[in-house]
A = this chain, B = another copy of it.
Amino acid sequence: MRIIEVGPRDGLQNEALPVPTELKRQFIADLAVAGLKEIEVTSFVSPKWVPQLADAAEVLADLPDGVLASVLVPNQKGLERALALGVRRIALFTAASDGFTLKNINMTVDESLAEFERVMAAFRKAVPDGWVRGYVSTIVECPVSGPVAPKKVASVSERLLAMGCDEVALGETLGVAVPRQVKDVIAAVAHLSKERVAWHFHDTRGTAIANVAVCLEAGYTAFDASAAGLGGCPYAKGAGGNLATEDLIYFLEQNGIKTGVDPVRLAQASLPVLQHLGRAPFAKAQLASLAE
């Protein structure tokens, strides 16, 4: 089982209040101590668009040993910055709907894939044994274009894998899906190697764990999550958007799957960041662990 912790990047990127670099470093270090092995630590998106992650270079300069740290890279310019800092694991970001990519990265899906071909070529040349993940967002519904056809998810995934991505991360961006809909996506991507497909659920309406359950049953072994449920939070102060790593770890362990993650240390890892943001802990298994 692989758990890909996205809190430091996806969890923080939309926070308006700047989080000091030292707090981010401590967050990442504490997540590593809790037992998380794969962490998406920052992004090389333009600081103009995501000022919260303008300190990407400083965050990268002090990573804990033994962690597989990845960074989001939006384009060739971002890649150049990442490569100059010795990055060996990158993530590319597209979607299964043009409405979403046009709004977020100002390209159609096709245009983003064309850009990624160039990014990929440059990255592979610089880091032949590097690792690349491709995000496919809006796998069930797009906030701009509405419902998304599962076959569109499959075709974008195929193209990302064909151009050399080591894995695709399928993102249910709106947090609207129930297992019935996730099963339709699973059916559409069933021809892809399960080892190359990770799932990224949002828990906006409380359905993320139910969706994880059907992916587990189908044989998938890689899930994204964000400590404390940070990120993906369009609604209310304190509300979670991303699936909380605490809830995911609890669910996996209670299913007899050893994750190597210490639930109490994990529950504590986000507390300094939450305190800085003026938030109380919100994730259910986090609250339970903190109370035990």
Contact = CB atoms under 8 A, between A and B. Distances in A.
Contact of A284 (B204, B281, B288): B204
A206 B176 contact: no
Contacts of A238: 238, 280
Given A178-B251, A251-B178, A283 B206 contact: yes
B180 A236 contact: no
A240 B207 CA distance: 15
A140 B260 CA distance: 25
Interface in A188-245: 203-210, 212-213, 234-240, 244
A209 B290 CA distance: 22
B205 A235 contact: no
Interface of A: 175-181, 203-210, 212-213, 234-240, 244, 247, 250-251, 254-256, 280-285, 287-288, 290-291
Which 6 A-B pairs give the minimum distances between C-beta atoms?
A: A206-B247, A235-B291, A210-B210, A206-B284, A205-B285, A178-B254
A284 B178 contact: no
A217 to B, nearest CB: 9
A288 B176 CA distance: 10
14 contacts: A178-B213, A178-B251, A178-B255, A181-B254, A203-B206, A203-B284, A204-B284, A205-B251, A207-B251, A209-B209, A209-B210, A236-B287, A239-B287, A240-B284
Contacts of A285: 205-206
Contact of A206 (B175, B205, B209, B281): B209
Nearest to A250: B205
A234 B203 CA distance: 22
Contacts of A175: 288
A147 to B, nearest CB: 12
Nearest to A289: B205
A228 to B, nearest CB: 12
Contacts of A209: 206-207, 209-210
